[in-house]
Structure 1
């Protein structure tokens, strides 16, 4: 189905706006390049002098050219071995910003009674801070292993599994819906990369925010210019 441009840089596919935000009960967000302006793994790699190498893998994974996301993330994290935690603090303090319109959109969702979920292939070092900053209800992401104040180049296995990839994002969204006693049709999923497509495919409304081509082709609402609050043009 072809997308319809309803405003410059704002496209809908299979939607008849306006939709009522209050008809939804959950909104799930990707973090890197969605809620925030950076890919954290790339910025950490800069501290190791390996940003170009890591960024190339990240970009290929987000475009869907690398189909094994877990392997791609392990490869990138391995290149971070030896980076001090102080470098992560500097990335958060000096480089990480919320994307335009994020606070307004999250607050609108919260005001309408939606629960908020951050589900990210990124790292708890950043997602815990972003969750607190935005007052989000739930979060799941990956844990970097640290020894003596430095990254080991590995991630820590969690009780639920090893790595948040596209399949885990989908599973978390479905699990939270079940725990809330709601249908996935009452969930909104927001993302930008290929690993967000599985959760976007099960949600009642999928929103692509400055998405990669694969996301722009699938999202019911695609924001390709401006801030995330432009979704409120469709959601009232």
Structure 2
């Protein structure tokens, strides 16, 4: 049976409770510095791609072995398993598009019932991070383009898509979707969303599914 609808979530502070780049930065002893820069980017005060490249530079030298520790600290957002089950019971597709990193998302997305996902990749020399993003940055426009691409591949009209996010880099995707939901969101995102989730519990999105 073809998919009936598509729901696409942001990852950090939406699919999961954490900001992964801050967890990686902790491994470099620069967690507080990177957390402040992440907060400014999520509020929309700085260009996301520029900010991400700057924050990734702070990760230079972090051992690839650190990712096991980072993944162990990931906290799924309450209700994520219930939401995934409801999406699949209704013949929907559960996607995640993130300004975070495949190095973590590739491990946690399948465990959380995610069908398709996209994120940034971190360059490394075989043993440690080199402080740059490998390839194009997944920014606000890339998130919106990915939602449309996934919908088109499955023959899903854009009006039967939902986008859920918390930061300024989610706004373009939320405006592109049939319904944009602010979740655990910054004030600027709450002001521009179609709906605002009242609690940090993804199960509350189930009644919104087509």
Range class of TM-score, shorter chain:
over 0.9
Q: 1:48 aligns with which of 7, 28, 41?
A: 28
Deviations 1:165-192, CA, capped at 9 Å, x for gaps:
0010001111112222222101011111
From 100, 107, 110, give the equivalent of 1:132.
Answer: 110
Query: Which residue is 2:150 aligned to?
Result: 176
Structure 1: which 5+ residue stretches go unaligned? 1-22
Q: Distance in 2 between matches of 1:177 and 1:151?
A: 34
Distance in 2, Cα, partners of 1:226 & 1:121:
20
SS at match of 2:65: helix
Unaligned runs of 5+ in 2: none
Deviations 1:34-88 (A, max 9, x none): 000100001111111111111111000001111x211100000000000111222
Taking the aligned partners of 1:57 and 1:209, their CA distance within structure 2 comes to 20
Q: CA deviation at 1:104?
A: 0.7
Distance 2:114 2:161 in 1: 15
Q: Is the 8 A contact 2:81 2:113 kept in 1?
A: no
Give the TM-score normalised by structure 1. Answer: 0.84
Deviation of 1:135 (Å): 3.0
Q: Could you tell me which residue of structure 2 aligns to residue 89 of structure 1?
A: 68
Equivalent-residue separation in structure 2 for 1:131 and 1:235 (angstroms): 20
Contact 2:85 2:113 in 1 (8 A): no
Task: Tell me the distance in 2 between the aligned counterparts of 1:65 and 1:136.
Answer: 30
TM superposition score normalised by structure 2:
0.94
- Which of 73, 89, 92 is the aligned partner of 1:114? 92
**Structure of higher CA gyration radius:** 1
Quote the residue 1:77 is aligned against. 56
Q: CA deviation at 1:24?
A: 5.3
CA deviations 1:123-168 (Å, max 9, x no partner) are: 00111112211232211111111213111101211xxxx1100010
Q: How many pairs were matched up?
A: 208
Matched, 1:191 2:171: no
Write the distance in 2 (CA, Å) between the matches of 1:182 and 1:118: 16
How far apart are the structure 2 equivalents of 1:220 and 1:130? 28
Residue 209 (str. 1) matches residue 170 (str. 2)? no
